[in-house]
Amino acid sequence: MSAASPLPPLALGSLRMDMPVVQAALSGYSDLAMRTVARAHGAPYALNEVVLDELVLQKGRLQRRILSVPEHDHPVGGQLMGSQPERFGQAARELVKAGYDVVDLNFGCPVNKVLGRRRGGWLLQDPETALAMIDAVLQAVAGDAPVTVKLRRGSDDSPDAEARFWTILDGAIARGITAATVHPRTVAQKYVGPSRWPFLTKVKQHVGAFPILGSGDLFSPFDVLAMLRETGVNGVTVARGCIGNPFVFTQVRELLAGRAAMRPTAAAQRAALHQHWQIAVPFYGSERHALPHARMHAIKFGQYHKDPVWARERLVRMRGPEFLPLVDEVFADCHDEGRSLQLRPEDAIVPALQSCSE
């Protein structure tokens, strides 16, 4: 596959995406504002941040926020995490009723507090419960939306752990899930060490035509194309690599068209953060409530700045109504002076670790 080769569209049931590169569910990040900005920069599909089934079912402001899916936010996936099959199914049904186009089940999160509650990656140790949860969701959704599953390659590196992975994956496919996303690190690895892309090749060869999406160590558009080329997966989910960098989706499209991938200009970063703020304020109800979320994103944008240390120092001190004025200061056009805007593979930034992001 050359850089200018077309890629087949990604299909999730009846949904068709023109590019098989999507925004992952990012805990604490992929809210409506982030998804909107990602779509504006070429993401054909995005997932909401992972939510607990009990929060979907518990009436209140947070439930209303989770179940708010405006018309412009499609196609969108809702990712669930939980430990009780019946409640998992009930929550999945609520997501579909709210308008989510896909229900995604998180069996991969490696965070200790999640594992301690027998959620996320813990389920890779218990195929019986994992498959019961898939059964419950498929029955509750009743074919009204595709159901996908997010997995890691096992709870650890033991042969027994890998055997349990195959039991869950094969059982999920037999039951009727639409696709699976596989992150080729173990739960025990968390985010330490390289992800084993050859395992994705093994998975794809094992399942044949069944759709597999890959995840892990995608920090630039060059990484995205390399995973697709080297592993044969049907698509990829970009996680940490798109936090503060929605431009990666446009960059992939440029490479696929045979053009150079370009760094975002300061003006482009500034415009993206203005759009983010315009969505975040009504979503969270006020500037005061939106600020912590938007500031977190702005700080991540700063890592791609010409002077990232200075940008971070300015952005972390953001308070009150300072968001847009400070964004305008940090991402002023003068910060592009003398800077090469063509992106090279060696320019990729490996972001700090995030919870349940890959």
User: How many Å apart are CA 289 and CA 298, to the nearest integer?
Assistant: 15
User: How many Å apart are CA 291 and CA 281, to the nearest integer?
Assistant: 8
User: Cβ–Cβ contacts within 10 Å for residue 288, how many?
Assistant: 11
pLDDT (tens digit per residue) in 297-336? 999 999 988 889 999 999 998 887 789 999 999 999 887 7
pTM recorded for the entire structure: 0.93
pLDDT band at 290 (very low <50, low <70, confident <90, very high): very high
Length of the chain: 358
Is there a contact between 53 and 84 (Cβ–Cβ < 8 Å)?
A: yes
Lowest mean pLDDT among 16-25, 177-186, 288-297, 310-319: 310-319
pLDDT (tens digit per residue) in 75-131? 999 999 999 999 999 999 999 999 999 999 999 999 999 999 999 999 999 999 999
Is there a contact between 92 and 80 (Cβ–Cβ < 8 Å)?
A: yes
Q: What is the mean pLDDT of the chain?
A: 93
Whether the predicted pLDDT of 66 surpasses 50: yes
User: How many Å apart are CA 223 and CA 220, to the nearest integer?
Assistant: 5
pLDDT (tens digit per residue) in 227-257? 999 999 999 999 999 999 999 999 999 999 9
In this prediction, residue 2 carries a pLDDT of 46
HSE toward the beta carbon, residue 245, CA cutoff 13 A: 23
* Helix-strand-coil split of the chain, %, nearest 5: 50, 15, 40
Residue 309, classified by CB atoms within 10 Å of its CB into exposed (0-12), middle (13-18) or buried (19+), is: exposed
In this prediction, residue 75 carries a pLDDT of 97
pLDDT (tens digit per residue) in 117-138? 999 999 999 999 999 999 999 9
